[in-house]
Amino acid sequence: MCFLVKENKEINEKYYYKVHKTGLPIYVFPKNHSTSFAVFGTRFGSVDSTFKTADDKDFVTVPDGVAHFLEHKLFEDENGNDAFTRYAQYGGDANAFTSFVRTAYLFSCTNNFNENLEVLLDFVTHPYFTEQTVKKEQGIIGEEIRMYEDNPNWRVFFNMLAAMYVNHPIRRDIAGTIESISQITPEILYKCYNAFYNLHNMALCVCGDVTPEQVEAVCDKVLKPAPEVSIARMTVDEPEHIHQERVTLNLEVAQPLFCIGIKQTPAKTPEERLKKSAVNNILLQLMFGKSSDFYNRHYESGLINSKFSASFEQERQYAFVDIAGSCENPDGVKEAVCEEITKRKEQFFTREEFERTKRAVYANFLFNFDSTERIATDFLTYIFADTDMLDFPAAISNVTYEDAMEELSASYDTGKCVLSIIFPKK
Amino acid sequence: MTFERSQIKEGVSLSAVKTNKFKTNLLTVNLLVPLRKETASLNSLLTDVIKRGTVHYPTMQSLNKKQDELYSLGLASYVQKRGEVQAVVFELSAIDDNYTFDKTNLLEQSMQLLGEMIFNPITENGVFVADYVAQEKKNLIDSIKAQINNKTTYAITRCHEVMCADEPFSVNVAGDIDIVEKITPEQLYAQYKTLLNTAAVEVLYVGSMEPSYIAELISKYLPFDARKPAPMETVVRTTAGEVKYHIDKMQINQCKLSIGLRTGTTLKDKDYIKFALFNELFGGSPSSKLFMNVREKKSLCYYCQPIVEAVKGVMVIASGVDIKNKDTTFEAIMEQLKDIQNGNISDAELRDARKSLENFYREITDSPASICSWYLARIIAGRADSPEEAAKLVNAVTKQDIIDISKKLVLDTVYSLEA
């Protein structure tokens, strides 16, 4: 089977796509840069803590932080070699990350692309876990967790999630806790690995000065056909309402930090997801962007400062708005945000304001295409949401004035608004 | 990718990288002055006040709306330090004309707006607007105070301050709270004029346009006069006295250990590449000695990384550790340095460090921001070699070169932030 081509002529970008004979979907994004970038990811993140494969009778629940722990541990092989060392001989600059819904392994290089790709595909498909190596990692990850405990921006964000969600595992830290990771064993890691690290559940995205055939040849060499594994994830019974309206914590900060969360209902289909993302980006820019009345009025009054920002986050199972900043009076900011939402539902923006903002959001998206890393990692996010990055510009263009009005009244419920604050220690 | 450097006027230069790789244009106007306690705060505050409005766009909102219209034009202003030089930076990032709906001359319109921001800020009674100055003073003081929020960077900054206490390098580039509090609109405006008329002006450009066209736009919209700027000097110390130990207390979970060293080599040195390779092998990559031994083998920390200030010739090895392992980690880190000084470098380690450094240099050419940052540091150090040229030199560096250069490092300060 040949590669299929998808092109967006307007922004002059295209990619090649096929399902490799082993079951792995491959995406290649040609780019005339010196740096080539590859991301190999699986749909396994911190929220996938309760699941069932065909071999299991019942759902199993694994300790918090397993996906992230597994990411760390895959780097080591049975000879005690670190994947970093294997990359190093070919000059590959490697990394990995775990988010709520995915784990990704990546490298960038300016030479020896095939060899580096071989290392990536090989180590991710060859797990090796023992009591001893698990124990050693508990020390390193323990320090990583402690580092985040002292990071006020991280804490204020996770406290917001815990306030918004009642049951959903998104309310728990991606890395878990020192306590939860102490329960991790090699058996648990193998269990998760065998369930989620199946080529059908994964994807490979490459961006750079490479050909699709070149990528396929490396896959032919390294990968073995995988039987499809069916995974049932426990559907979380998450109510529409929030858990807690206000949550505070004291840390070593100079001025209070805040995150305001607005819980939304996730979109049901990939098309809706793409549209929801476009329309929310436009709405947030209109209401809270640097050129908005809100931002300027409250900046002038001293309620907020240039650290104020608003963004939209969504995956299959959740969707929310995150408005963050640092100021003396976070409660005042929340009140002002809710007032603004209520007011705009009554008196929406002018068509001219809407069109200008839409253009700005469109242009902003183009900036992403200057980085092979950005393209490859963002692309994976879109793919795992069953959407396509190259469809996003059109999704922005297609948002109508009425769409924006409708989304504001449907998805910005001030009764689902939470406030998380980090106050300075006394 | 081509690099061209030209003089627009005496004291005003353009360094342009022409490439079709990107969908965007990036242009930075760098006003370079000596880093001094008396002026650093003024320059820092200036970059905030200047964003509040221009004569034609007198409010922040009208200016931001204009930027939206220009396809989300990015206009930024901020301060940086490179050695003992303060850079007051005005930055423009715009999408390439080809990607606008109407193929408009976006870059020219953007340059006009940038010029307006720099040369025609909104004023009242001949100085900056008093209300704006008062608000931005408060915001700046809050943001200086907020430097404690990020424990990792705070512990690095504090180590620099302790290490270079009696050198200009210890000046906080964001400003000093006591000085900021006393700034008046008159004083700020006077400094603005002095800066505009006397600083060395270095314009950097990365994008698809011809350098001659950029030079034309500069002459048209950035009317800097010719000037004779003060030389950009950084005093470099290559020795250290008795090791300084300093502990700051804070209620935190993880101890931040920062080890400060004088490197004995700076970017001004012709053989800087030898130091760069030493650094890569020591701690610059995941295959380095620090990562492989202190993190992977001994499991002492999640990160352990040398942060190098190449113009000043100082290095801070930053790590986050359990307080009970502080001394063990210090020993383990210094042991890795001693190891290199004693010549314990395997062929594989040398090969990996070379590949990693070469890769690092080549990747710079794929990011407009990295290209600008690369040339700014080089211009301040009085050189103009490209990342590709640096990459080509890597393989010529020998094991002995690394050993020799590593022996120039001296321990100066051991700093920790702990509960």
Alpha helices in B82-150 (DSSP H): 106-119, 130-145
Rounded to a whole number of angstroms, the distance from the CA of A130 to the nearest CA of chain B is 15
Indicate the length of chain B as a whole number.
419
Q: B358 and A111: CB-CB below 8 Å? A: yes
Output the average pLDDT for chain B. Answer: 96
CA distances from B247 to A229, B258, B415 (A): 54, 10, 6
| Cβ-proximal residues to A179 (8 Å cutoff; 6+ apart), any chain | none
Measured between beta carbons, the chain A residues lying within 8 angstroms of B359 are 91-93, 108-111
| Mean predicted confidence (pLDDT) in B372-396 | 96
Which of A13, A71, A238, A315 is labelled catalytic?
A: A71
Q: If we measure between CA atoms, which residue out of B79, B385, B84 comes closest to residue B230? A: B84
Express each pLDDT in A246-258 by its tens digit: 999 999 999 999 9
| Mean predicted confidence (pLDDT) in A302-312 | 97
| Cβ-proximal residues to A154 (8 Å cutoff; 6+ apart), any chain | A148
Q: Which pair of tokens denotes residue A15?
A: 């990619």
| Cβ-proximal residues to A6 (8 Å cutoff; 6+ apart), any chain | A14, A15, A17, A388, A390
| Cβ-proximal residues to B402 (8 Å cutoff; 6+ apart), any chain | B274, B277, B278, B281, B340, B345, B350
Quote the pLDDT of residue B1: 85
Q: Which pair of tokens denotes residue A206?
A: 């490459």
CB-closest option in B68, B142, B286 to A360:
B68
Count Cβ neighbours within 10 Å for each residue of A51-69 and write b for 16 or more, e otherwise. Answer: bbeeeeeeebebbbbbbbb
CB-closest option in B21, B149, B285 to A253:
B149
| Mean predicted confidence (pLDDT) in A161-189 | 96
Quote the pLDDT of residue A238: 94
Q: A359 and B300: CB-CB below 8 Å? A: no
Q: Walk me through the domains of chain B, giving residue ranges and CATH numbers.
A: 2-221 (3.30.830.10), 244-418 (3.30.830.10)
Express each pLDDT in B74-127 by its tens digit: 999 999 999 999 999 999 999 999 888 888 899 999 999 999 999 999 999 999
Express each pLDDT in A179-203 by its tens digit: 999 999 999 999 999 999 999 999 9
Phi, then psi, of B128 in degrees rounded to 5: -60, 150
Quote the pLDDT of residue B296: 84
Q: What percent of chain A has pLDDT over 70?
A: 100
A373: confidence class by pLDDT, cuts 50, 70, 90: confident
CA–CA separation, B362 and A92 (whole Å): 12
Q: Is the predicted pLDDT of residue B400 greater than 90, yes or no?
A: yes
A372: confidence class by pLDDT, cuts 50, 70, 90: confident
Q: What residues form DSSP beta bridges with A314?
A: A319
Cβ distance B284 to B219 under 8 Å? Answer: no
| The one-letter amino acid at A178 | I
CA–CA separation, A406 and B168 (whole Å): 57
Q: Walk me through the domains of chain A, giving residue ranges and CATH numbers.
A: 4-233 (3.30.830.10), 246-424 (3.30.830.10)
CA–CA separation, B52 and B189 (whole Å): 14
Question: What secondary structure does DSSP assign to B199-253, as a single string?
Answer: SEEEEEEEESS-HHHHHHHHHHH--PPP--PPP----------SPEEEEEE---S
Express each pLDDT in B183-229 by its tens digit: 999 999 999 999 999 999 999 999 999 999 999 999 999 999 999 99
Q: A253 and B146: CB-CB below 8 Å? A: yes
Measured between beta carbons, the chain A residues lying within 8 angstroms of B22 are 370
Cβ distance A325 to A304 under 8 Å? Answer: yes
| Mean predicted confidence (pLDDT) in B9-14 | 97
B38: confidence class by pLDDT, cuts 50, 70, 90: very high
Residue A335 annotated to the active site: no
Quote the pLDDT of residue A79: 86
Q: A252 and B251: CB-CB below 8 Å? A: yes
Question: So what's the ipTM on this one?
Answer: 0.91
Rounded to a whole number of angstroms, the distance from the CA of A53 to the nearest CA of chain B is 33
Output the average pLDDT for chain A. Answer: 95
| The one-letter amino acid at A391 | D
Q: B145 and A254: CB-CB below 8 Å? A: yes
B20, B277, B287: best mutation site toward chain A, by most A Cβ within 10 Å? B287
Which helix (H) or strand (E) segment holds residue B152: the answer is helix B151-163
Measured between beta carbons, the chain B residues lying within 8 angstroms of A89 are 348, 351-352, 355
Q: A367 and B93: CB-CB below 8 Å? A: yes
CA–CA separation, A105 and A88 (whole Å): 15
Q: Is the predicted pLDDT of residue A1 greater than 80, yes or no?
A: no
- E strands, B40-188, where? 74-82, 85-95, 123-124, 127-128
Q: If we measure between CA atoms, which residue out of A320, A324, A183, A342 comes closest to residue A256? A: A324
